[in-house]
Amino acid sequence: MLKAPLLAFTFLAATMLIATTAAQPVDPLAPAGHWTGATAGRAATPPMGWNSWNAFRTDVDEAKVMGTAKVLVDSGLRDLGYRYVNIDDGWWLKRRSRDGRMQVRTSIFPSAKVGGSEGSSFRPFTDKLHSMGLKAGIYTDIGGNACSQAYDLHSPNLPEGTTAERQIGLRDHVQQDIKLYFADWGFDYIKVDACGINVYGADSPVVKQYKYNVYPPLIDQASINRTNIPAVRALYQQVADALAASNPDGDYVYSICAWGAADVRSWGKDVGNLWRTSGDITPQWSRMLHTFDSASTRALYAGPGHWNDPDMLFVGHGDFDVHHLTEARTHFSLWAMINAPLIIGYDLRHAPPALMDIWSNKDIVRLNQDSGGHQAVLAYDSDDVQIFVKTLSDSGTKGVLLFNRGLVPARITVTPAQLKMVGDVALTDLWSKKTMMLAGDALTLTLQPRESRVFEARGKRQLADGMYLSEIPGAINIARDGVTVSVPDPVIHRMANPWGTTTNGGERPTYAGWGGARADATPYDQALTVDGHVFTSGIGILANSRMEVKADGFKRFQAKVGVDDSTRNLKDQVVFQVFGDGHLLAQATAAYGQPAQALAADLADVKIVELVARNAAQTSDLPLVVSWGDAALVK
């Protein structure tokens, strides 16, 4: 019994020895000389559209989807950008045993009944959507079975047949299914869920009761250490590769639905176009805060082509229904500001005008769809009040959102400095369209509980001829964030479990990513501070990190760098390096307790600046926090 692993170990040790003697170890912080951020797929701005789940769960059918599609076209929502019409769980009948070909449940999607050797096909369905100027999305699971097969057991639309026929997920069929969905059926978007690698373990009661194949879970949502992060990522990467192969024109969107588990908040950007940063949203205020918080501090991990996904919109339902328009507008505005995908989850065939007015607020949609792709950054944060600021790529305007999360009216004061502006600022309210002046030092507004105010701000920028890096997170790729241990993020609102009871001790932080890079804050949510000096602009990151910054058109990089006062590691020195298209331009060494040092470099024709912070000696494993204070690109 012991022999096989022992043999494997000896072989592994031998190969490692050969590898280390034959080749120099690769320096993980070496400059790439170019942008290494993922560019696959077609998601230059956050995807917009509709999905069947929040409206119908598994009770989806062709009439409902096509009725919705017609409303998207007739109401003008399509022309505002809502183009993707996505079917979620519930479309499948079975996997055909003869050749593994997936079959559509044609009793609910009649146009798929094509007969012949195919049996069923979604091609007529996607042709119809395409002829309407829309795009089509489909849903699957990364494992063998889907979420409905564990959680919607009373659904009439669960897959049918033998155990093998009910294996409708991608497991062992990645190439075949992706080719079928994209090359043959013509879909443009896929959401890949993760229940198949989460809830089908040997001891699961549904596995026994429904005779599903056992899949030892790769994800343990309660424990990041018991989650096999590399294995989960590798499975999602296989799908990414198959999508690229089946879509030579590159026109596809890949949505990773692993609920913030398996550290996807860190690697999602390198594998897919959007990745869920949390468990499911529900139409409850407190749950909306939870999913929002899971994405709102991750601005540096998103940008054109890759987006944090706090889940689909629940506007129209529950706490966000037509009787709660304050909450509905807030939910929508928050999603717009943090560049979340705007995926409507309502039965649009019966949508009252007050709700249509929300989705079709073109000014708020414009914030979300701005081509710069800069997710809003927190200018003020607390459990009660938040202020978000979002750089727009046009003539220097910004989106600003004031948010009262609390239970009582809040007086919120906003200053030009929080917008990184100076002097008077004109604020146009994007709901009322009225403009008011932020004249002088500050403007104070009173917001009702759950109210938000969204403005477009026009004024003189603090850096008249440049940009602080924290103003342009969409132009930054965090190639390495220095995080070596996956730690659950503790600063996310914890709603009482909407599906369970209050008997289990409480809701624990579970989404890894704590310690990741932050704009205008340290990785552990402190103010950027070096030797007592606070920087209101800058990037906070751990040492042993490398960032890539798009610098085209700028002449100079400048920053004040140092070890942040909040560091746990007080001993080690940091070497800060600035590279331009792979060449070393400037360097400084710093230690805890030393004042910030100026670091600057001229950028003649440089396309990509790389910022490396390296622990010089690594005598301690404690996290070494560094600040790139006032880091900016200047013209």
The two three-digit tokens of residue 14, written as one number: 């031998």
The two three-digit tokens of residue 354, written as one number: 């007050």
Q: Scanning the structure block, which residue is given the tokens 């996310």?
A: 492
Active site annotation includes 193 = yes
CB of 58 to ligand GLA, least distance (A): 7
Residue with Cβ nearer ligand GLA (151 or 380) = 151
CB of 256 to ligand GLA, least distance (A): 11
Among 88, 370, 471, 630, contact with ligand GLA (rule: CB under 6 A) = 88
CB of 507 to ligand GLA, least distance (A): 17
Q: Which of 96, 91, 239, 256 is nearest to 174 (CA)?
A: 239
| Region 19-78 residues binding ligand GLA, contact defined as CB under 6 A | 53
Residue with Cβ nearer ligand GLA (257 or 271) = 257
Residue with Cβ nearer ligand GLA (177 or 610) = 177
Residue with Cβ nearer ligand GLA (342 or 563) = 342
Greatest Cα pair distance in the chain: 78
Instruction: Tell me: does residue 309 bind ligand GLA (CB under 6 A).
Output: no
Q: Determine the Cα–Cα distance for residues 471 and 375; give it in Å rounded to an integer.
A: 9
Among 147, 235, 541, 543, contact with ligand GLA (rule: CB under 6 A) = 147
Q: Determine the Cα–Cα distance for residues 299 and 307; give it in Å rounded to an integer.
A: 9
Q: Where are the alpha helices (DSSP H) in 315-407?
A: 325-337, 353-359, 362-369
Instruction: Tell me: does residue 89 bind ligand GLA (CB under 6 A).
Output: yes
The two three-digit tokens of residue 475, written as one number: 């132009």
Q: DSSP characters for 504-572?
A: SS-PPP--B-TT--EESS-TTS--EEETTEEESSEEEEESSEEEEEE-TT--EEEEEEEE-TT-S--S-
Among 68, 121, 140, 148, contact with ligand GLA (rule: CB under 6 A) = 148
Helix (H, G, I), strand (E, B) or coil at 91: coil
Q: Determine the Cα–Cα distance for residues 619 and 591; give it in Å rounded to an integer.
A: 13
Q: Which of 552, 57, 86, 22 is nearest to 342 (CA)?
A: 86
- Give the number of other CB atoms < 10 A from CB of residue 249: 6
Residue with Cβ nearer ligand GLA (269 or 276) = 276
Of the listed 88, 141, 263, 280, which one is catalytic?
Answer: 280
Site string for ligand GLA, 254-283 (x = CB under 6 A): ---x-x--------------------x---
CB of 199 to ligand GLA, least distance (A): 10
| Region 191-230 residues binding ligand GLA, contact defined as CB under 6 A | 193
CB of 277 to ligand GLA, least distance (A): 12
CB of 439 to ligand GLA, least distance (A): 45
Of the listed 193, 321, 481, 489, which one is catalytic?
Answer: 193
β-bridge mates for residue 488, sequence order: 512
Active site annotation includes 280 = yes
Residue with Cβ nearer ligand GLA (273 or 569) = 273
Residue with Cβ nearer ligand GLA (257 or 389) = 257
8 Å CB contact between 456 and 401: no
Report how many residues bind ligand GLA under the rule CB under 6 A.
9
CB of 291 to ligand GLA, least distance (A): 11
β-bridge mates for residue 387, sequence order: 380, 402
The two three-digit tokens of residue 40, written as one number: 């696959």
Please give the residue ranges that form the binding site for ligand GLA (CB under 6 A): 53, 88-89, 147-148, 193, 257, 259, 280
Residues designated as active site: 193, 280
